[in-house]
Amino acid sequence: MKNSIFDPSSPYKDPTILILVILTGCLYCATHLANNWLFSGLEVTGHISFIYLPSFLRLANVLVLGLLWGTLGSAFGGALLFFWMNDSLWLSIANTTISAGSAALAVMLMRFMQKRALSLTRLDDVLQLALFYALLNALTHHLLWSMLDTSQLVDPNQLMYMVIGDINGAVIGALGLRWLARRTQLIQYLREKAREPVPPTTET
C-alpha cells in the first residue's frame, strides 16, 4: 500500500501542521469577531464592511501554510463562525467555501499570470494580490447570493463596498505580513513547518 496520511510511517504524521491549521482558524474567527466590534459603524451588512481585516488572513494562510493547509485553516475558522451567523447552514457553508477558496484561487492565478512565485517582500506583489483577491472574492460572493439568497443584496453599490473593504483589510494585513517577512524569521519558520512533503513512490 502506498504511503498515506493514515500510515504511521507517513511523513504527514507530524501534528505540527494540524496544530497550525487549528490555530490559524481560531485566529481567523477571533479577527472576524473583533472586526465586527471595532468597525461596526463601517458595516453595510453582516457580510460587508468598509474595513474587513480577515480578508488578509485568508491570503496570509495560503501564502504561509500553502494552498491546501492555508485553505483548510480559513475554512475551519469560517466553520467556527457558524455559531454567530444568522444565515442558513447551506448559505454559511457556501460563503465559507468561497471565502477560503477564493484566496487560494487568487494566488494560483497570480502565479500563472506572472509566471513565477509570489514574494512577500515585494510590495508590488503584495498590493497586486490584495487587489486581485478583493475583486475575485466580492464577485464570487455576489454571484452566490444572486443565485441562493437575494435577500443579501440590499444596496446597488454593495459590490463596490465589499471590494473596498476587502482591499483595505488585505492591504493593511499584507503590509504587516511583508514587514514580518523582511524583519523576522517567523514566516520562513511557518512555511518550513507547513511545507508538504513528497510521499515516497515505492510501495510497501
State the CATH number of the domain containing residue 145.
1.10.1760.20
> How high is the pLDDT of residue 5?
45
How many Å apart are CA 163 and CA 138, to the nearest integer? 6
- The answer as to whether 1 is a domain residue is no
A 10 A CB-CB count for 85 gives 15
Highest mean pLDDT among 71-75, 123-127, 143-147: 71-75
DSSP 65-87: H-HHHHHHHHHHHHHHGGGG--S
> How high is the pLDDT of residue 59?
87
> How high is the pLDDT of residue 183?
72
> How high is the pLDDT of residue 13?
55
Q: What is the CA radius of gyration of the chain?
A: 18
Q: Computed from CA positions of residues 105, 109, 115, 116, in that sequence, does the dihedral angle turn out positive or negative?
A: negative
Residue 184, sorted as left (phi over 0), alpha (psi -120 to 50) or beta, turns out to be: beta
Q: Is the pLDDT of residue 153 over 80?
A: yes
Structural domain that includes position 135: 11-194
- The answer as to whether 120 is a domain residue is yes
- The answer as to whether 200 is a domain residue is no
How many Å apart are CA 67 and CA 129, to the nearest integer? 15
> How high is the pLDDT of residue 23?
94
Highest mean pLDDT among 46-50, 91-95, 198-202: 91-95
> How high is the pLDDT of residue 21?
93
Percent of the chain at pLDDT > 90 equals: 34
How many Å apart are CA 174 and CA 177, to the nearest integer? 5
Q: Is the pLDDT of residue 57 over 60?
A: yes
How many Å apart are CA 158 and CA 50, to the nearest integer? 10
How many Å apart are CA 141 and CA 136, to the nearest integer? 9
Q: Which residue has the higher pLDDT, 180 or 32?
A: 32
Could you give the number of structural domains in the chain? 1
- The answer as to whether 25 is a domain residue is yes
| Mean pLDDT for the stretch of residues 187-203 | 56
State pLDDT tens for residues 163-179. 999 889 888 887 777 77
- The answer as to whether 199 is a domain residue is no
Q: Is the pLDDT of residue 17 over 90?
A: no
State pLDDT tens for residues 66-93. 899 999 999 999 999 999 888 889 999 9
- The answer as to whether 3 is a domain residue is no
pTM given for the model: 0.78
pLDDT band at 193 (very low <50, low <70, confident <90, very high): low
Helices 54-65 and 89-114, axial angle in degrees (round to 10): 60
- The answer as to whether 69 is a domain residue is yes
- The answer as to whether 56 is a domain residue is yes
How many Å apart are CA 56 and CA 108, to the nearest integer? 16
Residues 6+ apart with CB under 8 A from 125: 110, 114, 118, 119
